[in-house]
Amino acid sequence: YIYFFSSEENKEIFMNNPIKYIRQPKPKPSVPVKIAIVGPPKSGKTTVAKKLASVFGLLRLSLGDALRLVINTQPQSELALTVKMHLHKGLTVPDELAIQALDVALLNHVCNTSGVVIDGYPLTRKQVNLLESAKIIPVKIFELEMDTKEVFRRALLDKESTNRPLYPEHNSSQILAIKNSCYKKHIKDIRTYYMKEHQNWCVIDAVQSRWWIWNKVQKEVQVVAKEIQIYLERINEGKAASIADLCITPQELQDRLGETGQYCPVSLAEKGELVDCSLTSSLQFAAEFQGQYYKMASQEELDKFLSRPEVYVSSLASHPLPPPDWLPKKLTVEEVKALLPGSVEMQGYCPVTYLDGNQRYEALVPGNIKYAAKYRDKVYIFESEEKLQKFMRLPEKYWNLKSPRKLPPNKEPMLLTALPLAGYLEQAIATSLIKALHKVGCLKPKFPFLSVKDTALLFVACHLKAHNPRSSEPVRQMYQRKLSWFMEHCQLIPALGAAAAGPYQEPRCRPQGLNSKLQVFLSLK
């Protein structure tokens, strides 16, 4: 065999120990990948695209490159003549012609061997639809995210730079504002579409350093290329392979679902559980085997499926998927209300709580119509979302329960005014009453010439009136003033007692204000 080396040094190393280097496994064949980069003006799209092209050997291709390629290499073709006709008239090339030019440019041998990075495209929802119709689907689309302020800041720095090209550029503030506005207008719809249909969208903070951005992009591309290589290798060997990062649309998934549908075949075979994986559109735990797709509940189940898929999808499976009529179905509140009051099993009590509670009387808990399911033409209502999910996984375990003869009494609503006095006080004014009693216990007021009991009752009454949440603000303020007046007069006894503790004093020798307090005190009798 003849071997080629990248340098003289590597050749000498090989000559010294050739066996070491020829016993290693053959490198995996390179997989051509399609990458797209979008972002606002001045976000660094072209810089990242050029770096990808140089490191991974991809062809960097913008829409202008594709149009120039068609015009220069196929000048007499109908496509080139039509494109030139629009350009000579000073018109924008229609999206339909631009996509045709891009499709022609993708015939380049570099695109078919290494791959391509599409710079700054697509920019509108219409262009996305045209790409889809031409079967041009990037395996990864990087969105360089940046706010408007940063766009104009970078544009200003570019104008001050000494490395500007000699020819004039279309980078005035007005043109940048229009480009940025158009980009912001359409990018949300484009992002939503690709995240829903292909799950191949990756948002990158373009404000970070160019080294940080490049490391992030490089890692994502390496992961995608590795996933595709592993997929092709395992499928060629007849094994099951993960289909994450393969841009499979929901419709393609639905058309090629295996015999277990959207249910996890591993959970069904090993535990007999119906784990519905349709709740998430992610294909992170999905795999292909013998031309059919299967979705798993977690990474653990995916690893088991990839190692021994035939155990879970063939006749060896211990628990095949029941017929569609025997699969549990969640019900909405409107659907449950249409079936009430009849047709509900266990008289509306939660079967999961009852069976898990060893069928005891205390485990009879009424269900909530927000959590309902239909199974074998019977309707069940559950206590919570957790209980509903348990039933959906193991309906056979809970479906055929019989409610006991002795049931808890019906909880009918009762008017507040129909309660006895103690019950009314507890339900209506317990909090306010406790606050008033706590206050009177701390202050221990004593009104002149009234008993302690009468003083306490008057204080509680004024406190309740002053803090009644149902009264208007003016009424509460009036009683707050009365409560303050009441407490001021309650302070007369300790004040006069402290002043009169010594020997008798003549009125002119008494402390200032004592005579007025004494007169107020005597007037209260």
- Average pLDDT of the segment spanning 268-279: 88
Which CA distances in Å does 32 have to 139, 195, 221, 247?
10, 22, 11, 15
Cα separation, 186 vs 141, whole angstroms: 15
pLDDT level of residue 163 (50, 70, 90 thresholds): low
Tokens standing for 515?
Answer: 């005579």
Residues paired with 498 in a beta bridge = none
pLDDT for 477 equals: 94
Residues 449-472: tens digit of each pLDDT: 999 999 999 999 999 999 998 899
Cα separation, 253 vs 248, whole angstroms: 7
The helix/strand/coil state of 495 is helix
- Segments making up each domain of the chain, as ranges: 33-161+169-225, 238-321, 325-397, 418-499+512-523
Architecture of the domain spanning 33-161+169-225? 3-Layer(aba) Sandwich (3.40)
pLDDT for 167 equals: 57
| Cα Rg of the chain, angstroms | 40
Backbone angles phi, psi at 472, to 5 degrees: -75, 165
- Average pLDDT of the segment spanning 5-20: 93
pLDDT(62) > 80: yes
Lowest mean pLDDT among 99-103, 205-209, 426-430, 504-508: 504-508
pLDDT(192) > 70: yes
pLDDT for 515 equals: 80
CB 293 within 8 A of CB 286: yes
Residues 428-443: tens digit of each pLDDT: 888 899 999 999 999 9
Start-to-end Cα distance in the chain: 125
Burial of 66 (0-12, 13-18, 19+ CB in 10 A): buried
> Where are the extended beta strands (E) located within 180-229?
201-205
* Percent with pLDDT over 70 in the chain: 96
Q: How many residues does the chain have?
A: 525
Residues paired with 144 in a beta bridge = 204
- Average pLDDT of the segment spanning 158-171: 66
pLDDT(102) > 80: yes
pLDDT(410) > 90: no
pLDDT level of residue 316 (50, 70, 90 thresholds): low
Which CA distances in Å does 194 have to 43, 117, 125, 145, 202?
21, 17, 10, 16, 10
CB 267 within 8 A of CB 221: no
Burial of 241 (0-12, 13-18, 19+ CB in 10 A): buried
In the numeric block, the tokens 């709580």 are attached to: 353
Backbone angles phi, psi at 61, to 5 degrees: -140, 120
pLDDT(424) > 90: no
Nearest C-alpha neighbor of 456 from the set 464, 90, 269:
464
pLDDT level of residue 15 (50, 70, 90 thresholds): very high
pLDDT for 337 equals: 84
Backbone angles phi, psi at 330, to 5 degrees: -70, 145
pLDDT(169) > 70: no
Cα separation, 158 vs 411, whole angstroms: 74
Residues 212-245: tens digit of each pLDDT: 999 999 999 999 999 999 999 899 999 999 998 8
pLDDT for 306 equals: 92
- Average pLDDT of the segment spanning 156-170: 69
3-state SS of 51-111 is: HHHHHHCCEEEEHHHHHHHHHHHCCCCHHHHHHHHHHHCCCCCCHHHHHHHHHHHCCCHHH
For all residues of the chain together, what is the average pLDDT? 88
- Average pLDDT of the segment spanning 285-308: 92
CB 207 within 8 A of CB 150: yes
Q: Tell me the CB-side half-sphere exposure of residue 359, using CA atoms within 13 A.
A: 9
Which CA distances in Å does 112 have to 34, 118, 235, 293?
10, 14, 20, 27
pLDDT(184) > 80: yes
193 or 415, greater pLDDT: 193
pLDDT(188) > 80: yes
**CA 439 from centre of chain:** 49
Question: Beta strands 286-289 and 241-242: pairing type?
Answer: antiparallel
- Average pLDDT of the segment spanning 326-336: 88
Cα separation, 512 vs 297, whole angstroms: 86
* Helical ranges in 250-366 per DSSP H: 250-255, 265-271, 299-307, 310-313, 333-339, 351-356
Cα separation, 489 vs 446, whole angstroms: 9
397: amino acid identity, one letter: K
Q: Any residues with CB less than 8 A from the CB of 390 and at least 6 apart, and which?
A: 352, 398
* Axis crossing angle, helix 173-197 with helix 148-160, rounded to the nearest 10: 130
